[in-house]
Amino acid sequence: MTHQPQEALVEPDAVGLGSSGDDPGEGHETVRGRGGRFTGYWLMLPSALWLALFFLVPFYSLIAMSLYDPTGSNLTGYDMTWHVANYVDTIQAYWRPLLRSFWYAAMATVACLVLGYVLAYAIAFKAGRWKNLMLVLVIAPFFTSFLLRTLSWKLILADEGWIAEGLRTLQILGEDGRLLATPFAVVAGLTYNFLPFMVLPLFASLDKIDNRLVEAAGDLYASPARAFFKVTLPLSMPGVVAGTLLTFIPAAGDFINAELLGSPNQRMIGNIIQNLFTNQGDYAAAGALSMTLMIVITVGVVFYIRRAGTEDLV
Amino acid sequence: MSLVADDDATTRDDQETSNRDLRLTALTKSYGSFTAVRSLDLVVPQGSFFALLGPSGCGKTTTLRMVAGLDTPTSGTITLGDRDITYDKPYKRPVNTVFQSYALFPHLDVSENVAFGLKRRGVKDTKAKVAEMLDLVELGGQGHKKPTQLSGGQQQRVALARALINSPEVLLLDEPLGALDLKLRRGMQIELKRIQTEVGRTFVHVTHDQEEAMTMADTVAVMNAGVIEQMGPPAALYDNPRTTFVANFLGQSNLLAGEILGPDGDAVTVSVQGTTVSIPAERSHAVGGKGWVGIRPEKVMIAEVGGEIDAPGNRFAGGVVTDVSFVGVSTQYLVRMPWGQELMVFEQNTGRRPIFAVGTPVDLSWRPEYAFLLDASQDAKAGVEDGDD
Amino acid sequence: MSALHRLGRWVGEHLVLALGVLVLVYMFVPVAIVGLMSFNDQASRNVYRFDGFTLDNWLNPCDPSGMCSSVVRSVEIALLATVVATILGTLAAFALVRHRFVGRGPLNTLIILPMAAPEIVLGSSLLALFVSAGFGGQLGFWTIFVAHVTFCLSFVIITVRARLSGLDDNLEQAAMDLYATENQTFWRVTFPLVFPGILGAALLSFSLSFDDFIITNLNAGQTVTFPMYVWGAAQRGIPMQVNVIGTAMFLVAVLIVLGNEVARRRQSKVTA
pLDDT band with cut points at 50, 70 and 90 for residue B120: very high
Selecting from A59, A116, A155 the residue whose C-beta is nearest the C-beta of C125 gives A59
Q: Which structural domains are found in chain A, ordered by start?
A: 91-147+177-309 (1.10.3720.10)
Q: To the nearest whole angstrom, how far is the Cα of B90 from the nearest Cα of chain A?
A: 9
Q: Are strands B290-295 and B372-375 parallel, antiparallel or unpaired?
A: antiparallel
In the beta sheet, which residues pair with residue B78?
Answer: B24
Distance CA C218, CA A72 (A): 19
Q: Model ipTM?
A: 0.86
Q: Which helix (H) or strand (E) holds B34?
A: strand B34-44
- Answer whether residue A1 shows pLDDT above 80: no
**For the purposes of burial, counting CB atoms within 10 Å of the CB of A233, is it exposed (0-12), middle (13-18) or buried (19 or more)?**
middle
Q: Which residue of B has its CA nearest to C193?
A: B107
What residue segments make up the domains of chain B, in order of their start?
5-239, 252-375
Residues B151-169 have a mean pLDDT of: 91
Distance CA C34, CA C30 (A): 6
pLDDT band with cut points at 50, 70 and 90 for residue C234: confident
CATH fold, domain B252-375, is OB fold (Dihydrolipoamide Acetyltransferase, E2P) (2.40.50)
pLDDT tens digits for B77-91? 999 988 999 999 999
Of A171 and C216, the one with more pLDDT? C216
B91/C178 CB distance under 8 A:
yes
Helix axes A269-278, A237-253, angle to 10 degrees: 40
B69/C267 CB distance under 8 A:
no
Q: Which residue of C has its CA nearest to A290?
A: C121
> A-chain residues within 8 Å CB-CB of B72?
27, 30
Q: To the nearest whole angstrom, how far is the Cα of A154 from the nearest Cα of chain B?
A: 47
pLDDT for A35 equals: 56
Q: Which of C171, C176, C177, C265 would you mutate first to test chain B, the one with the most B CBs within 10 A?
A: C177
Whether residue B70 lies within 8 A of chain C, CB to CB, comes out as yes
Q: Which residue of A has its CA nearest to B36?
A: A27
> C-chain residues within 8 Å CB-CB of A123?
20
pLDDT for A73 equals: 67
pLDDT for A309 equals: 65
CATH architecture of the domain formed by C65-266: Orthogonal Bundle (1.10)
Distance CA B99, CA B120 (A): 19
Contact C250, C34 (CB under 8 A): yes
B172 SS3 class:
strand
Q: To the nearest whole angstrom, how far is the Cα of C256 from the nearest Cα of chain A?
A: 11
Whether residue B121 lies within 8 A of chain C, CB to CB, comes out as yes
pLDDT for C267 equals: 57
What residue segments make up the domains of chain C, in order of their start?
65-266
DSSP B148: G
Question: C103: closest CA among A33, A17, A35, A58?
Answer: A17
Distance CA B199, CA B160 (A): 12
pLDDT band with cut points at 50, 70 and 90 for residue B263: confident
Written as one letter, the residue type at B375 is D
Contact A255, C214 (CB under 8 A): yes
Whether residue B163 lies within 8 A of chain C, CB to CB, comes out as yes
pLDDT tens digits for C59-108? 888 888 888 999 999 999 999 999 999 999 999 999 999 888 888 888 88
Whether residue C176 lies within 8 A of chain B, CB to CB, comes out as yes
Q: To the nearest whole angstrom, how far is the Cα of B98 from the nearest Cα of chain C?
A: 8
Question: B374: closest CA among B240, B235, B225?
Answer: B240
B101/C170 CB distance under 8 A:
yes
> B-chain residues within 8 Å CB-CB of C267?
106-107, 146
DSSP B336: E
Q: What is the CATH number of domain B5-239?
A: 3.40.50.300
In the beta sheet, which residues pair with residue B224?
Answer: B227
Contact B385, B322 (CB under 8 A): no
Distance CA C83, CA C41 (A): 38
Q: Which of C179, C183, C185, C189 would you mutate first to test chain B, the one with the most B CBs within 10 A?
A: C179
Of C5 and B160, the one with more pLDDT? B160
Between the alpha carbon of residue C233 and those of residues B53, C76, C229, the distances in Å are 75, 21, 6
Whether residue A31 lies within 8 A of chain B, CB to CB, comes out as yes
C178/B117 CB distance under 8 A:
yes
Selecting from B91, B96, B106 the residue whose C-beta is nearest the C-beta of C268 gives B106
Which residues between 30 and 49 in chain B have a beta carbon less than 8 angstroms from any beta carbon of chain A?
31-32
pLDDT tens digits for B296-355? 999 999 998 888 887 666 788 899 999 999 999 999 999 999 999 999 999 999 888 889
CA C262, C266, C269, C270 torsion-angle sign = negative
Question: B107: closest CA among C211, C175, A207?
Answer: C175
Q: Which of C24, C36, C87, C120 would you mutate first to test chain A, the one with the most A CBs within 10 A?
A: C120
B71/A27 CB distance under 8 A:
yes
- Answer whether residue A17 shows pLDDT above 50: no
